[in-house]
């Protein structure tokens, strides 16, 4: 079994700390995440989000985002994935959005990807989540494909790729 380079128990970033998710954090974060768009728009079940966040042994690395010791969101990464890391989930709670946390997480992810010799960074965003698509595009991601019905019937996801790193 390969150990992911993204398997550290905690990672200190300039604006936040990533801490490996535990089942207790998974449940409370799941409730908060599905209450906000895009998950609330597609009526994503809290129980399914909690299972996803608590999963282990599936090749994903999941972290609770902390700011000043407070729960600020969650991050899930998958590596390797198409010659680079896949940012499977970046969910910041509303009161922590717009403070540069997402940019800090993306900068760290890109730095790690370069260190690992990756060629790409990947992320998906709901097609109706224009703010997220703009955020990723500002950080150098470009649309690579449209994935109909990936998360929920009737909704498309946009697969975005950052290349070259």
Q: Which pLDDT score, from 0 to 100, does residue 5 have?
A: 74
Residue 125 makes CB contacts below 8 A (sequence gap 6+) with: 38, 132, 133, 136, 157, 158, 160
Reported as a single tens digit per residue, the pLDDT across 21-45 is: 988 889 999 999 999 999 999 999 9
Q: How far apart are CA 96 and CA 56, in angstroms?
A: 26
Tell me the Ramachandran region of residue 50: left when phi exceeds 0, alpha when psi lies from -120 to 50, beta otherwise: alpha
Residues composing the chain: 165
Could you state, in chain order, the average pLDDT of each consecutive group of 10 residues for the chain (165 residues)?
73 95 90 97 96 90 96 96 97 97 97 95 97 98 97 94 97
Q: How many CA atoms lie within 13 A of 100 on its CB side?
A: 5
Q: Which CATH superfamily is domain 10-119 in?
A: Gcn5-related N-acetyltransferase (GNAT) (3.40.630.30)
Strand 121-126 with 86-92, pairing: parallel
Alpha helices in the chain (DSSP H): 23-34, 46-54, 101-115, 130-138
Q: How far apart are CA 140 and CA 144, in angstroms?
A: 12
The CB-side HSE value for 37 (13 A sphere, CA atoms) comes to: 9
Taking the chain, what is the end-to-end CA distance rounded to the nearest angstrom?
A: 27
Domain segments of the chain as ranges: 10-119
The pLDDT score that the predictor gives to residue 1 is: 39
pTM of the model: 0.93
Give dist(CA 94, CA 97) in Å, integer: 5
Q: Are 1 and 12 in contact (CB under 8 A)?
A: no
């Amino acid at each position: 079994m390969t150990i992911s380079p993204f398997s550290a128990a905690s990672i200190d970033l300039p604006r936040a700390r990533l801490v490996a998710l535990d089942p207790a954090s998974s449940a409370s974060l799941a409730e908060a995440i599905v209450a906000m768009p895009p998950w609330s728009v597609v009526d994503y079940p809290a129980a399914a989000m909690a299972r996803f966040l608590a999963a282990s042994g599936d090749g994903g690395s999941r972290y609770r985002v902390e700011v000043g010791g407070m729960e600020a969101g969650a991050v899930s990464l998958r590596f390797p994935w198409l010659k680079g890391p896949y940012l499977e989930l970046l969910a910041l709670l509303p009161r922590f959005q717009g403070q540069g946390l997402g940019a800090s997480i993306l900068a760290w992810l890109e730095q790690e990807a370069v260190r690992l010799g990756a060629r790409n960074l990947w992320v998906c965003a709901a097609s109706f989540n224009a703010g997220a698509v703009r955020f990723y595009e500002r950080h150098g991601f470009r649309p690579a494909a449209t994935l109909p019905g990936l998360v929920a019937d009737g909704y498309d996801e946009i697969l975005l790729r950052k290349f070259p790193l």
